[in-house]
Amino acid sequence: MDDRKNPKVDWFFDKASAWQEEYGQLREIVLDSGLDEELKWGCPCYSLQKKNVVLIHGFKEYCALLFMKGALFKDTKGILIQQTENVQSARQIRFTNVKEITKLKTTLKAYIKDAMEVEKAGLKVELKKTEEYQVPEEFQKKLDKDADLKKAFKALTPGRQRAYLFLISQAKLAKTREARVEKYIPQILDGKGPDD
């Protein structure tokens, strides 16, 4: 048995219906770095002194190695991807087959080393403040009319506030944004986030 592997994480690799070979290859590369293997958010997560450094995850179209603070180190090969415009810190390297991983093995090890150095140095990504996010017009109207809602929204953690602003603003139609505002009002008044 490989003592670098955490048995609690094995189920992720065992249950995978897709990307098994790719996951196995990524796991070996990351474990070679000396990071600790844990299960977080239902995915294999690798940490240095209890600080998350890299994560393995998969989607329908690809599997990926996600660097928690990828925005802070140099992407010399131009392979890091920002999942969406709202992701501030993490960056992914995506794969659709094992050959791509094998070809980039040396680069991946170097990027993991860079990510570890970022963590050792205690560097932090300067996150955008909640006030810097635009409040959708439909939500702003409700906040202006309802003092209790405004107070409840301001009392939420910044992360929950950003989650609501993001979810509401993602709707393309005003009608859909209005429906989302109505849907989330009870949760906001209860002091809960959209996923609570």
Q: Using one digit for the tens of pLDDT, what is the confidence trace for 4-34?
A: 899 999 989 999 889 999 999 999 999 999 9
Does a structural domain hold residue 196? no
pLDDT score, position 120? 95
How many C-beta neighbours within 10 Å does residue 174 have?
11
158 and 138 in a common domain: yes
Which are the contacts of 151, defined by CB distance < 8 A and separation ≥ 6?
none
What's the confidence (pLDDT) of residue 171?
85
- The domain total for the chain is 2
Is 83 or 97 the better-scoring residue by pLDDT? 97
**Backbone phi, then psi, for 180, in 5-degree steps?**
-65, -40
Containing domain of residue 164, as a range? 130-189
Per-residue confidence band for 131, with pLDDT thresholds at 50, 70 and 90: confident
Q: Which of 61, 70, 56, 60 is nearest to 24 (CA)?
A: 56
The predicted pLDDT at position 146 comes to: 95
Q: What percent of the chain has pLDDT over 70?
A: 99
- Kindly state the tokens that stand for 128: 């955008």
Angle 170-174-177 (CA atoms, 0-180°, nearest 5)? 45
Q: Whole-structure pTM over 0.85, yes or no?
A: no
Residue 167 has pLDDT above 90, yes or no: no
Residue recorded with tokens 């002194």? 49
- Report pLDDT for 156: 93
Same domain, 139 and 116: no
**pLDDT beyond 60 at 1:** no
- Looking at the structure, tell me whether residues 154 and 74 fall in a common domain: no
pLDDT of 132 reads 74
